[in-house]
Amino acid sequence: MTQASGRSTGLPGPTTITGRQLGAFLAHIDAVVLAIDLSGTITFVSPSVRLTLGYEPNLIVGRPVIEFMHPDEEHIFHEHWEFATDHQRPSTQPTIRVRNSEGTWVEMTLDLYGGDDIGDLGALVATIRPLSGISTAEVELRDRLAREDRLVRLASTFVGLDVDHFDDGVRATLAQIGAVPGVDRCTVLRRQGDEFVLTHQWCGPRVKPSDRDRIPARWFQGVFGADHRSEMYFDLPEVVPPLPATPTAGAAGLHEMADYGIRSTVGVPLIQDGELAGVLTFGSAEVGPLRDSGCLSLLRSAAGLLNEAFARHDAEVKLAERARVDLLTGLDNRWTFLDEVERSLDRFKGGESAGVGVLLIDLDRFKVVNDSLGHLAGDQVLAAVAKRLKDAAGPTERLGRLGGDEMVVLLEDRDDVELPRARSLELLDTFGEPFEVDGHEFQISASAGLALATPTSTPEEILSQADSAMFRAKDLGRSRLVTFDGELRRQLSERLRRENEVRRAVRTGELTLHYQPELHLPSGRLHGVEALVRWNHPTEGLVVAGDFIDIAEETGLIVELGEWVLRQACEQSAAWSEVGFDLVMRVNISAKQVNHPDLFGSLVTILDQTGADPESLCLELTETAVMADADLSLEVLGKIAALGVQLAIDDFGTGYSSLSYLKRLPMHVLKVDRSFIDGLDRSLDDVAIVEAVISLASTLGLTVTAEGIESEDQLAVLKDLGCPYGQGWLFSKAVSAE
């Protein structure tokens, strides 16, 4: 086939057009042509952008192309960008949404290609044109689904987020909101008292670093006030609704924001429990983009999610705070205080402080307040004590309540190792003035123990040392300060050794019983015996009860030890009865045994297993043991007396007696304490006291036994007073059954 060169075909030949003609042509088509360099920046845009999207071309050139695309479809553009740059040929034509000058999303097709014929325009050329044939309803549906998907992703940010990472979650949420086209800044202003305070913020690249800390919190505070409940929108120079007439909400605030690049803003109030809790603001560097209904809907929903998240977080913070403080006093609870001690010790061990001490304060005789005025008054006293200590404490001193009436103070100084001692005395001086609660004045003293840190101290150890020093202060007479030192450490070490030995003695058969005779004084006849426990110590020999019973009481071993004594005494009583010695067997019962729920059941079992006669058994209890819980004692002792067992008040006159309870208790014997017997031969007062006890016992139908008779003169006085029974070294010390 030959070439028809030079032959007329009847068709018009090529026409050359001018640049002006090309510009006019590009201005009137609905397609928009863009040239884009390798950084994604627009280097050229056709004049048709005015007709299609409403932008001036000079406002488009130089800006990132991705800025105009819907965030949910950025990945589509990136995929076709890579395809076009890699293959240097036109790509397929996907559908994307592009934001117009009014902030509305417009459905458009994208034609993206690269090639050698592009020249200096850029790396790629893009042609976008409005999409025809898609209904408004379909567009709205897709927009709504996209918004819902974004909201789901926003909501998921807070799922499983703990309190410590909440701020990170808020910032991540603001960053996701910032991905909405047109949003350049998101801020959260929380209300603190009467002021709005910036707590969280996200800024896009169009916000200068120097402007990021500039936020007119007082302007928003003036706009919303305390009662405003609806959102505010302004698009310079318009404000919807109109600004309230307040000095801080004037137009100057709008221009201030415009000065640092924010030309439109939406402010959405955060409402919690019906009160304005803050404002969520969205800002744009342009006029108009935030007016888009879809954008506004998303921002409102995002504000709702954040509002719920803040409400939940605030509740969790309050709950966590409640778990860290003592609710009655507002002081640190035990675990929070120990955490603070640990941090303080770390500073001390790192050379950041010269001295660390823990002061443990225990109120003296606080039980009297509770017993006399009730626990409510007691709680009010504790709260008053805590307040006084807080008022007296320095800025670096932490206070805590361990429980009951025990409070602690953490003392630390960076320069003076002696400061904890001096401050302890100053804090104790605050107890000099009485406390007033509900019109009542209470003069309360306190015993305190101070422990000073060493390079190896642990929080639990230093607290334990302060506790030991406090108990030592009580032993020395209360209302004083004792510092834990080497001597106290030695005493505690010795006590711990003794405690372990007592435990071993109870469980390995080192204990034995000795018996002190009780005589019928008028006849001199043997009437009974008192069972007294002794300890056959492997190295110390025979140890009397006074050297170890207190330890058994404090450690709780007294219940086990007391049951062993009761069983041994009953076995011995039954054995003597079999050979014709019908004696009353007296056994001491401690307060902890009386209050132990198994006492009655254990007694019944022992009597049954040993065969001892209940009427030959007499249980002796001190006044203090009986009155510790008088109602419980009344119930338990009534059941014991019903078995035929006798009951005696030991050391009568040395505790606090209640005659109203005494006449109700099923008692049989009053034992007069040796302190009154000791002065019978030289003190008329002691004679009068013993005579009164004998008379009282007679009136109540009780018998009397005198303890600690050591001389013939004492015996003579007792006989003259008509005391029927007595025991003491005048007759015999405690001896073994053999």
Domain boundary among 104, 132, 160: 132
Note the pLDDT of residue 226: 52
Mean pLDDT of the chain: 81
pLDDT, tens only, 122-162: 578 888 888 754 444 555 555 565 555 665 566 566 555 66
At 382, is the pLDDT very low, low, confident or very high (cuts 50, 70, 90)? very high
Average of per-residue pLDDT across 329-358: 91
Residues 548 and 697 in one domain: yes
CATH number at 709 reads 3.20.20.450
Q: Is residue 250 part of a domain?
A: no
Sign of the CA dihedral 289, 293, 294, 299?
positive
Note the pLDDT of residue 124: 81
Domain boundary among 80, 98, 132: 132
pLDDT, tens only, 6-43: 444 444 444 444 445 445 555 556 688 888 888 889 98
Distance CA 562, CA 557 (A): 8
Residues 223 and 167 in one domain: yes
Cβ contact 629:661 at 8 Å: no
Q: Is residue 81 part of a domain?
A: yes
Distance CA 420, CA 451 (A): 9
pLDDT, tens only, 405-416: 999 999 987 666
Cβ contact 208:261 at 8 Å: yes
Say whether pLDDT at 434 is over 60.
yes
Q: Is residue 399 part of a domain?
A: yes
Note the pLDDT of residue 234: 58
> Which run of H or E residues covers position 351?
none
φ/ψ of residue 436, rounded to 5? -115, 125
Comparing CA positions, the residue from 618, 634, 718, 622 lying closest to residue 668 is 618
Lowest mean pLDDT, pick from 235-239, 317-321, 373-377: 235-239
Count other C-beta atoms under 10 Å from residue 658's C-beta.
14
pLDDT, tens only, 288-317: 667 666 667 777 777 788 888 888 888 887
pLDDT, tens only, 248-272: 444 555 666 666 667 778 888 888 8
Kindly give the residue spans of alpha helices, DSSP state H, lying in 579-735. Answer: 591-594, 599-610, 623-627, 630-642, 659-662, 674-677, 684-700, 712-721
Note the pLDDT of residue 496: 85
Average of per-residue pLDDT across 551-579: 92
CATH number at 376 reads 3.30.70.270
Residues 299 and 351 in one domain: no
Residue ranges making up the domain that contains 370: 334-484
Note the pLDDT of residue 397: 92
Residues 273 and 359 in one domain: no
Tokens 């969280």 — which residue? Answer: 200
Residues 165 and 37 in one domain: no
Q: Is residue 471 part of a domain?
A: yes
Residues 450 and 580 in one domain: no
Say whether pLDDT at 2 is over 50.
no
Average of per-residue pLDDT across 481-496: 90
Distance CA 189, CA 175 (A): 16
Domain boundary among 466, 484, 502: 484
Average of per-residue pLDDT across 365-378: 81
Q: Is residue 492 part of a domain?
A: no
Comparing CA positions, the residue from 370, 473, 468, 355 lying closest to residue 422 is 355
Note the pLDDT of residue 11: 40
Residues 626 and 692 in one domain: yes
What is the separation of C-alpha 86 from the centre of its chain, rounded to a whole number of angstroms? 60
Residues 111 and 154 in one domain: no
At 729, is the pLDDT very low, low, confident or very high (cuts 50, 70, 90)? very high
Residues 6+ apart with CB under 8 A from 398: 332, 337, 340, 409, 410
Residues 351 and 424 in one domain: yes
Note the pLDDT of residue 280: 83
Q: Is residue 66 part of a domain?
A: yes
Say what angle helices 712-721 and 684-700 make with each other, to 10 degrees.
40
Considering its fold, how many domains does the chain have in total? 4
pLDDT, tens only, 700-723: 899 999 999 999 999 999 999 999
Residues 388 and 459 in one domain: yes
**pTM beyond 0.75, yes or no:** no
Note the pLDDT of residue 181: 63
Extended beta strands in 426-468, E state: 435-437, 440-442, 446-452
Residues 338 and 417 in one domain: yes
Note the pLDDT of residue 291: 66
Note the pLDDT of residue 87: 58
Most confident segment among 85-89, 396-400, 621-625: 396-400
CATH number at 115 reads 3.30.450.20
Distance CA 564, CA 554 (A): 18
Residues 265 and 344 in one domain: no
Q: Is residue 4 part of a domain?
A: no
Q: Is residue 498 part of a domain?
A: no
